[in-house]
Structure 1
């Protein structure tokens, strides 16, 4: 059974000098409009106790274009400017729903340089993509084909800190759901082994940042020696950003392959609800935790499970998976990170710390998947006062029996 989803396809492209100048102007105008609109909305609330909507900021944009100070906004396509206002509206909606903090201003040197074009602002014919205000198509490197008969609805152009140009094309794609499987796996995240599966398999942490640390150190030292504000400093900055981009690309590629494998091989995937934001506050481990990419792995598992008709179960972070004996259920005392193997006082079973945790994660997840929290005897309550066996599921398979 196929399912239609919105899917973005990202490609690298190489603009001409004229296209580079046009896109740079567009990025600057998008940032200016976003910041002006944010300033107006903030001022309106604090001085008049009045909320401005997207319609109000759109009317303000029209007025800005008629002034001598901001007349240059007419030189770029109007669509990316309107999209910037929509993005600001979405940011405020997330803030009012308490899903995000108050929107922040976009800094020229720190914010992502991007512009979004909708259908009225680009033309896609015979594999050629042409944006509004440009005389010729972009030199896109089509490393993989778009879906047959694809009609892009949105095109986002961006430039990263390393100076690379990318175009992201959003279109509909058909995803074929996988055949039902009777397999399930528990996943325990770690640093020595990136993940340990309940089957006993350990997947080694590639440590991409550590492998390129020497190269990164040399580039950063070279940057520190450059004169501030000079052209050489900008070159050195791009070199540092290039090393970071290489690390991020390799990490993302590895996580995509790992998440795809887990989803394809198992009907149910069970993971822990790790609070990465607080975990990186542990200074000695912050670098290694950030390099592991646990949050990205969870995000990939969530949408891929939804795509392919699998189920992702996320158990409570306070569930004592490491200290619980997977054979008899006895909960051991404190267990420092240095303890990699331990013996159960109840039944005498000897456990590998990570494999045992993965088995307990799987058992708790299957209980939730089958009948909901509370199926297993509650041996230890979570600090939130809820059942230790978990709370949320993602991508539940409809029409198929759960394990």
Structure 2
């Protein structure tokens, strides 16, 4: 390994923008910002899943055939050829996802002085089998890691906040759904109206606004 140091920054620090933003990571879109903008989820794995499954079935058949013929896999040309094809498909998904995450994280950091995001508890989220594939496909943890080191690189500020009630709380008046006899919002509730102040909310936009507010409080 190698460590580099310099008396001058490795990159030119961009000028301050005076802008702050909160981001809500979700499976409907990749993210929604406190400004109301959304970034679509590219779903790279889902796009290639069919081709990958077919390639892996062929690989499995060739492995069984080599075993039946008592040939070691390392000398089986057909098996090795198919193994490289499967590896190439996995690498393709990885590279496309990484390029996407780099582009989004760099844009957020360069264009805002402060970025707030929710802390991830991906281990618990992956226990939900209905969402496990979608969660694993988006690369949220890698994305937050990129935001953290790029914030330091470009002399910006980045914080993660506790996600508790960011989805359930009204950004306008602070009322929390699931209290005072109301029911909690479910994943199917994409829009809702606050029963206290009657403000209309788009679920992810409201959550991003709450995340920004929590980030500003934590920053202070």
Give the TM-score range, shorter chain.
0.7 to 0.9
* TM-score, normalised by the number of residues in structure 1: 0.49
User: Following the alignment from structure 1 to structure 2, what is the Cα–Cα distance between the partners of residues 367 and 181?
Assistant: 20
After TM superposition, the structure 1 = structure 2 runs for residues 203-214 of structure 1, keeping only pairs within 5 Å, are: 203-214=39-50
The alignment status of 1:344 with 2:194, answered yes or no, reads yes
Match of 1:287 in 2: 133
Listed as ranges, the gaps of 5+ residues in structure 1 are 1-115, 117-152, 155-169, 372-403
User: Following the alignment from structure 1 to structure 2, what is the Cα–Cα distance between the partners of residues 277 and 257?
Assistant: 26
Match of 1:199 among 21, 35, 43: 35
Q: Compute the displacement of 1:278 (Å).
A: 2.2
Match of 2:61 in 1: 225
Does 1 or 2 have the higher relative contact order (CA < 8 Å, sep 6+)?
2
Match of 1:325 among 166, 170, 178: 170
Match of 2:181 in 1: none
After TM superposition, the structure 1 = structure 2 runs for residues 36-115 of structure 1, keeping only pairs within 5 Å, are: none
Aligned-residue Cα RMSD (Å) equals: 1.6
Deviations 1:57-89 (A, max 9, x none): xxxxxxxxxxxxxxxxxxxxxxxxxxxxxxxxx
Q: Compute the displacement of 1:264 (Å).
A: 0.6
Match of 1:315 among 161, 183, 186: 161
> Quick one: structure 1 residues 310 and 171, their matched pair in 2 at CA, closer, same or farther if it must change by over 3 Å?
closer
User: Following the alignment from structure 1 to structure 2, what is the Cα–Cα distance between the partners of residues 313 and 249?
Assistant: 26
Deviations 1:106-131 (A, max 9, x none): xxxxxxxxxx6xxxxxxxxxxxxxxx
Structure 2 counterpart SS, 1:329: coil
Match of 2:205 in 1: 355
User: Following the alignment from structure 1 to structure 2, what is the Cα–Cα distance between the partners of residues 248 and 367?
Assistant: 36
User: Following the alignment from structure 1 to structure 2, what is the Cα–Cα distance between the partners of residues 277 and 247?
Assistant: 22
Structure 2 counterpart SS, 1:212: helix
* TM-score, normalised by the number of residues in structure 2: 0.87
Q: Compute the displacement of 1:281 (Å).
A: 2.0
Higher helix share: 2
Match of 2:143 in 1: 297
Deviations 1:142-180 (A, max 9, x none): xxxxxxxxxxx58xxxxxxxxxxxxxxx78672222212
Higher strand share: 1
Structure 2 counterpart SS, 1:188: strand
The alignment status of 1:175 with 2:11, answered yes or no, reads yes
User: Following the alignment from structure 1 to structure 2, what is the Cα–Cα distance between the partners of residues 294 and 284?
Assistant: 17
Q: Compute the displacement of 1:277 (Å).
A: 2.1
Deviations 1:85-109 (A, max 9, x none): xxxxxxxxxxxxxxxxxxxxxxxxx
Structure 2 counterpart SS, 1:193: coil
Match of 1:85 in 2: none
**Structure 1 stretches of at least 4 aligned residues deviating more than 3 Å after TM superposition:** 170-173
Listed as ranges, the gaps of 5+ residues in structure 2 are 68-72, 179-183
User: Following the alignment from structure 1 to structure 2, what is the Cα–Cα distance between the partners of residues 204 and 174?
Assistant: 31
> Quick one: structure 1 residues 368 and 171, their matched pair in 2 at CA, closer, same or farther if it must change by over 3 Å?
closer
User: Following the alignment from structure 1 to structure 2, what is the Cα–Cα distance between the partners of residues 256 and 202?
Assistant: 16
Match of 1:269 in 2: 115
User: Following the alignment from structure 2 to structure 1, what is the Cα–Cα distance between the partners of residues 145 and 52?
Assistant: 27
> Quick one: structure 1 residues 234 and 171, their matched pair in 2 at CA, closer, same or farther if it must change by over 3 Å?
farther
